[in-house]
Amino acid sequence: MRTSNLNTDGASAPAESLSYLPPPPVLLERPALFLDMDGVLAPLAATPDAVVPDARRTVVLRRLVERLDGRVAIISGRTIAEIDRIAERASASASGVHGLERRRADGSLDHAAAAPAVRAAVAAFERFARDRPGMIVEDKAVSAGLHYRGAPTEAAAVEALAHSLAAETGLALQAGHLVVELKTPGTDKGTALNAFMEEPPFAGAMPVMLGDDLTDEDGFRAAADLGGFGVLIGPPRRTAATFGLPDVEAVLTWLDAVEARA
């Protein structure tokens, strides 16, 4: 059985090998955990607002933060305000909008200035969604998102629009699971992970990134570059992650086990 999806040159292995991704170990030496929200800590829902706090998730996160001396950060495409709403501020360290927002363990904040073109992208998405039921436009100030989970047959049209707007505006195109996002350039989940790893309490620890989406691949690579690893949540696919878990329930069970053995 293969224990890694990476070839010796660091390239992703063929997709058929990914079914062999093993579960991550639970006994880790001084880990620093970086956790995506949707699809990892919380199940995917029909709309962003449909994801709500969960008592078990909150307890697991709070115990883990305490046991690991604060070496837990939630890194998400959501805003920090949304991360706090769903996780009930269980983690002081958090990064939102793919690294454009970041709150350190001491509570201090970094917030990138929005590219002016974000307003044009929001307006274009709103015009596009007006006559297409099931679309949701999300204005995050530093980025514009268009969710089409409620209208999956529009995928080709959504992707064509997003690529066209990215070329016109210079905004960074971030594709996700049934969502496209045009964001202020310059950050991703990998840059957020690297920034945390340069600061207390994360510095010198082994980074472990848990994610389910294409947006998490930058975090997987950053963790591996620093001597850690990525964990892909959900179905196998081409990935830079080394290990895998099937779903949110498995993630919470694994986090419980890590906390018990820390």
Q: Residues with Cβ < 8 Å from 211, sequence gap 6 or more?
A: 36, 39, 40, 189, 217, 219, 220, 230, 231, 232, 233, 241
Please choose, from the candidates 261, 211, 258, 202, the residue with its C-alpha nearest in 3D space to the C-alpha of residue 237: 211
- Return d(Cα 97, Cα 117) in angstroms, integer: 16
Point out the catalytic residue in the list 36, 38, 84, 216: 36
- Return d(Cα 148, Cα 168) in angstroms, integer: 22
12: which strand partners? 6
Q: Which two tokens stand for residue 154?
A: 């529009």
Q: Residues with Cβ < 8 Å from 245, sequence gap 6 or more?
A: 23, 24, 210, 231, 232, 233, 251, 254
Q: Is 36 among the residues known to form the active site?
A: yes
Angle in degrees, 0-180, between the axes of helices 217-225 and 189-197, rounded to the nearest 10: 30
Q: Which two tokens stand for residue 35?
A: 């956790």
Residues labelled as active-site residues: 36
